[in-house]
Structure 1
């Protein structure tokens, strides 16, 4: 009798521990530093806010049409002193040490094949014109050619290896994440097979470098999702070809970054405290980890079962290029604080 009671109590406690584990969602900040370069001191302020609020990571979207904001031997960005164009190696190492000491992981975000114009322009400057033309897509000058192009794929791999080495974090060994983008890719409606071959090659290489691959949802159809590397996690921002339920049915790990409630673009329009207060009230009213953005409803409640791993608040900075660092922080920090205070709901 006593043994049976002990066994039942043990099973109950095990079940409760399991429920608690499932309820703990990862909370992160995705910050666009390509369109608006920011210094290390700025990023440290953001990390402080993430730590205070119990967040888990800062994802740096350092590569887009407007620039490639990292030191790179491959691309000819080799300055060693602080500058207003990109982070040098010593700054990246300083940032990582600062973040890891505060239990915050730094996630590199190298968005390919789209959103590549910044680094493709550097290729054009450093290499000859013929090489540039051999790797850029006919679809778009901001798109690296993903159609079984060995030269393009090899260069992307070299850049991934360089990034992976820069962002190595022993504290998170075996758990580090690398975002490969994969969003807003022209041609994927008709050329999903070629797109998936490229993504699988790139994500596999990310794994070889010791990272877990992550990408956005919008350029995937169901055939592509079925063929996608099973280790790739998905950041879901809005419905394009697939609803969240399709990803759930494929048991694909999801991170929710709802395009309405969990995306913000700082700007001169929001420079007063009233505008930020309104945004805080809006997120409090409508954000929930299981509320996803559908085409016809940005507040669709979803039964995420066990696939929801976390949420992410994304800041795109294309409208904030004229703001000072302090003006930008005055908009970003209160929103991060508010999001983290309710991110587990």
Structure 2
């Protein structure tokens, strides 16, 4: 959708805005900044591309095993000077203002209970050993204890509140999204009830903070899906325990981020333009909003009915740590442009 039309939609009354946007799919970019911290200027370049190509949002995956890349008074990351480890508070606020001016929603992505090693390490450094041991899983140091642990749940809530405050975009009031992760969680086959209880508590708190909760699909069983907070939207990356049809039949809001066609890892191997051209051609040939990554076929066409609300292109950066910002952008920006151009047609 052209940016001019997007701006006009934001000034419509709420019921007309929802009616006008219902017919089109939302297109976004999910960027991993935990494994490879990026600068404010880098993120602004990404936002510029999303805006110019008609996209809707940038989701920042700033917390994972390799780091927690945000200012946090709770975790002791309180520098005010720009650094190469995390975004300071003034940078986050500048990022939000920049995105506001360009009609791009910023989605904070605080992945729990798995992928928590980065911030749990900071807890271990700042608090005493006993507190750390009381909230970390006893079988995975990257997993915050989700088994009805009041201390762990309270700390996660405090962090959510801190994140929600600095990322708040008033122009998206009532619509801004907050991703709580929920993916690749050990034990969910056998302990789905405890997992869902944790997710429902956390997603409910996200709503209290004024955001709409979002999570990945892969750790949910059908029993868990039925018990899951009905307001949680699902980003479907690949079939794990449930095919997409189960989410559709349960009237779940779906966003497709196909693990084959809509995931890319920048690296030294792909530093030449031929590799990027090849990736662009691949996405052109195989990406379709209703093509899901399923066990029997990663390119399976699914009748999504009214459940599908959007798609997302995800960039994981663990293979691009040694790349310069310009080398990283040289791979990411053309792929974003290509994906969004396809999505708008």
> Under a length normalisation based on structure 2, what TM-score does the superposition of the two structures give?
0.94
Cα offset, 1:217, TM superposition: 0.1
Cα distance in 2 for residues equivalent to 1:246 and 1:302: 11
Q: In the alignment, is residue 277 of structure 1 matched against residue 295 of structure 2? A: no
Q: 1:219-260 CA distances to partner (integer Å, 9 max, x unpaired)?
A: 000000000000000000000000000000000000000000
Report the equivalent of 2:78: 78
Q: In the alignment, is residue 65 of structure 1 matched against residue 61 of structure 2? A: no
Higher gyration radius (CA): 1
Q: In the alignment, is residue 151 of structure 1 matched against residue 163 of structure 2? A: no
Cα offset, 1:62, TM superposition: 0.2
Cα offset, 1:20, TM superposition: 7.3
Structure 2 unaligned residues grouped into runs of 5+: 1-16
Q: 1:315-335 CA distances to partner (integer Å, 9 max, x unpaired)?
A: 000000000000000000000
Cα RMSD of the aligned pairs, angstroms, is 1.2
| 8 Å contact kept, 1:196–1:227 | yes
Cα distance in 2 for residues equivalent to 1:18 and 1:178: 19
Cα offset, 1:23, TM superposition: 3.4
Q: In the alignment, is residue 31 of structure 1 matched against residue 31 of structure 2? A: yes
User: How many residues are treated as equivalent by the alignment?
Assistant: 329
Report the equivalent of 1:55: 55
Report the equivalent of 1:237: 237
Report the equivalent of 1:294: 294
Cα distance in 1 for residues equivalent to 2:271 and 2:138: 40
Cα offset, 1:19, TM superposition: 9.5
Q: In the alignment, is residue 307 of structure 1 matched against residue 311 of structure 2? A: no
Distance 1:103 1:18, change over 3 A: closer
Q: 1:272-316 CA distances to partner (integer Å, 9 max, x unpaired)?
A: 000000000000000000000001200000110001000000000
Cα offset, 1:21, TM superposition: 4.7
Cα distance in 2 for residues equivalent to 1:55 and 1:22: 15
Report the equivalent of 2:140: 140
Q: In the alignment, is residue 93 of structure 1 matched against residue 104 of structure 2? A: no
Q: In the alignment, is residue 177 of structure 1 matched against residue 177 of structure 2? A: yes
Report the equivalent of 2:211: 211
Q: 1:139-195 CA distances to partner (integer Å, 9 max, x unpaired)?
A: 210000000000000000000000000101111111110000000000000000000
Report the equivalent of 2:166: 166
Q: In the alignment, is residue 255 of structure 1 matched against residue 283 of structure 2? A: no
Where does 1:332-343 land on structure 2 (aligned, <5 Å)? 332-343=332-343
Q: 1:69-109 CA distances to partner (integer Å, 9 max, x unpaired)?
A: 00000000000010000000000000110011000010000
Report the equivalent of 1:317: 317
Cα distance in 2 for residues equivalent to 1:138 and 1:253: 34
Where does 1:119-134 land on structure 2 (aligned, <5 Å)? 119-134=119-134
| 8 Å contact kept, 1:139–1:186 | no
Cα distance in 1 for residues equivalent to 2:298 and 2:263: 12
> Under a length normalisation based on structure 1, what TM-score does the superposition of the two structures give?
0.94
Report the equivalent of 1:111: 111
Cα distance in 1 for residues equivalent to 2:41 and 2:252: 36
Structure 1 unaligned residues grouped into runs of 5+: 1-16
